[in-house]
Structure 1
């Protein structure tokens, strides 16, 4: 019994360990966030040194910095018609099972295209969207979509169309395209 469980459990444990390790080593998801954090760290770092001499200037800088960063990061009113992109913070892992055995694992990085006004709405629906896309990826895998040359253009078009329909069904926010940034097959 244990001899049957070990070949299945080891790849699953390796997959979970790799995902956890990758998540721990991953850079912050949004390029705007590190700039905001760095600016905040610089302002807070300067505040104690200038506490006695320029406290009013630092507070003025914080007000301007907070307003500028708030408008840039959450720019719902900035350019609502301009294309915006929601990238899932973690990759999608899709097991490829054949006759009850784990053969390979597909690893995908997916981004959704929307407009600037609906980017925050997509962010709030991340878990529902992730579930819908993973369900569609499982269907694609179980119907042989990742067999053979899965990077052929017609196969990727089919995959994107399926993911786009799943995303549109999962949320009322407009999703105009699904971008597959990374795709790889890892032996199981």
Structure 2
């Protein structure tokens, strides 16, 4: 009698697992393209892959940016950032060629942002980050042209001193 209880519990557990798996299985996709032949599907897939998203590339700015935060004529913190630029794949080498000028412009924007208190308090709040991104993007477009579609802040940290 004592050996029956574990067997019954095992059967109930397996049954519950099978039932849960059956009830929670994903819904199979509906195939509405039965009237479309394979070559037409292939041409549709090629058309989708030619979107502008596939022509974008990301250029990582090689070194990090270190920005001092000044309070009462003293450095109270350092902010370290890493940036990347979203551009057309055909323009990546042109962006790398302009990197020294881009770094200079980005540092100016970052110093201005720090001077205006952009790195005080909750400096990663969406309004503060959006303002910083827009300023960096505007600066990048002045130097590298309209092929720069976005500035990505990939890392940001503040170290109080």
Q: Does 1:122 align with 2:95?
A: yes
Is contact 1:81-1:117 (8 Å) kept? no
Matches within 5 A, 1:57-136: 82-136=55-109
What are the Cα deviations for residues 61-88 of structure 1, in whole angstroms up to 9, with x where unaligned? xxxxxxxxxxxxxxxxxx9961101101
Q: For the residues of structure 2 that align with 1:145 and 1:80, how far apart are their CA atoms?
A: 32
8 Å CA contact retained: 1:163, 1:178: yes
Does residue 162 of structure 1 match 2:111? no
Instruction: Name structure 1 gaps, 5 residues minimum.
Output: 1-78
Q: Which has the larger radius of gyration?
A: 2
Report the alpha carbon displacement of residue 168 of structure 1 after superposing the two structures with TM: 0.8
- Higher strand share goes to which structure? 2
Cα distance in 1 between the residues matched to 2:146 and 2:62: 19
Q: Give the aligned CA root-mean-square deviation in angstroms.
A: 1.7
Per-residue deviation, 1:173: 5.7
- Runs of 4+ residues over 2 Å off in structure 1: none
Asked whether 1:152 is paired with 2:125, we answer yes
CA distance in 1, matches of 2:108, 2:71: 18
Do 1:105 and 1:185's aligned partners in 2 also have CA atoms closer than 8 Å? yes
Partner of 1:140: 113
With a CA cutoff of 8 Å and minimum separation of 6, indicate the structure with the bigger relative contact order: 2
Q: TM-score, normalised by structure 2?
A: 0.65
Inter-partner Cα distance in structure 2 for 1:172 and 1:156: 22
Q: How many residues align?
A: 110
Aligned to 1:187: 160
TM-score by length of 1: 0.56
